């Protein structure tokens, strides 16, 4: 997997932006990752091909690919068509529907014995991922969450800890987290072109980055 090609692709799609952004965690960041900018068939197919390669490289055994609403829905749907195993696809509603097709889940409803992999865009403090895991646990079924696949690991501290959000998730829930790239890869890429944001992002990591990264 060529990480530089992926970063270049993100920039071309304007999925990787530079400026001043307030994140869900409340932190002010000099860069922002928005998979909502992959807004056509070609870019979505390219993005999901990277996810497919990431999944296949790590040889994770699962039968359900779960994409949290909203950005995870197309990621799970398209990536599932690219994998040789053709896993079932599951995702959730933001609001529970009380008529017709009721409940919080759409597509495949997780069942006993399922091995579930979660596919997401990015993790910063791990807040949204934890919400997803807790939602799945509320089903009270004998299913296992076996992996989390993300496009960018921002390498930042988790909630009330000095370790990274990805390591905090792994430690708390026993789930391995795999990313296409890390923020350090973005910094290295920008340094090669003398982009001013290489230094700004490095300074951001110096402030909010996990100590062990």
Q: Which two tokens stand for residue 15?
A: 């999925």
pLDDT of the chain, 213 residues: tens digit per residue: 799 999 999 999 999 999 999 987 788 999 999 888 999 999 999 999 999 999 999 989 999 999 998 889 999 999 999 999 999 999 988 776 565 555 688 899 999 999 999 999 887 666 667 777 788 878 888 989 899 999 999 998 876 778 888 888 888 888 999 999 999 999 999 999 999 999 999 999 999 988 764
108 flagged as catalytic: no
Q: What pLDDT shows up at residue 96?
A: 64
CA-wise closest residue to 166 among 210, 119, 133: 210
| pTM for this predicted structure | 0.90
Distance CA 57, CA 45 (A): 18
Domains and CATH numbers, the chain: 3-208 (3.40.50.2020)
The pLDDT assigned to 213 comes to 45
Set 42, 99, 138, 192: catalytic member: 99
| Model pLDDT, residue 20 | 96
Q: In the prediction, which pLDDT does 75 show?
A: 96
E strand map for 45-202 = 64-67, 88-97, 103-107, 115-119, 122-123, 144-153, 177-182
Catalytic residue, chosen from 45, 97, 137, 171, is 97
| 99 assigned to active site | yes
């Amino acid at each position: 997997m060529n990480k530089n090609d992926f970063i270049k692709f993100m920039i071309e799609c304007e999925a990787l932006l530079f400026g001043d952004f307030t994140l869900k965690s409340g932190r002010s960041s000099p860069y922002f990752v928005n998979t909502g900018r992959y807004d056509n068939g070609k870019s979505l197919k390219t993005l999901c091909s990277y996810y497919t390669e990431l999944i296949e490289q790590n040889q994770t055994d699962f039968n359900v690919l779960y994409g949290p609403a909203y950005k995870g829905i197309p990621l799970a749907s398209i990536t599932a068509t690219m994998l040789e195993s053709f896993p079932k696809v599951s995702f959730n509603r933001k609001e529970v529907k009380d008529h017709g097709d009721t409940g919080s889940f759409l597509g495949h409803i997780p069942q006993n014995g399922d091995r579930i992999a979660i596919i997401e865009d990015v993790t910063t403090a791990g807040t949204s991922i934890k919400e997803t895991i807790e939602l799945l646990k509320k089903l009270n079924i004998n299913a296992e969450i076996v992996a989390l696949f993300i496009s960018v690991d921002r390498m930042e501290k988790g909630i009330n800890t000095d370790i990274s959000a990805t390591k905090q998730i792994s430690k708390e829930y026993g789930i391995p987290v795999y990313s296409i790239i890390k923020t350090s890869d973005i910094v290295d890429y920008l340094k090669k072109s003398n982009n001013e944001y290489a230094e700004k992002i490095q300074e951001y990591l110096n402030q909010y980055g996990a100590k062990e990264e």
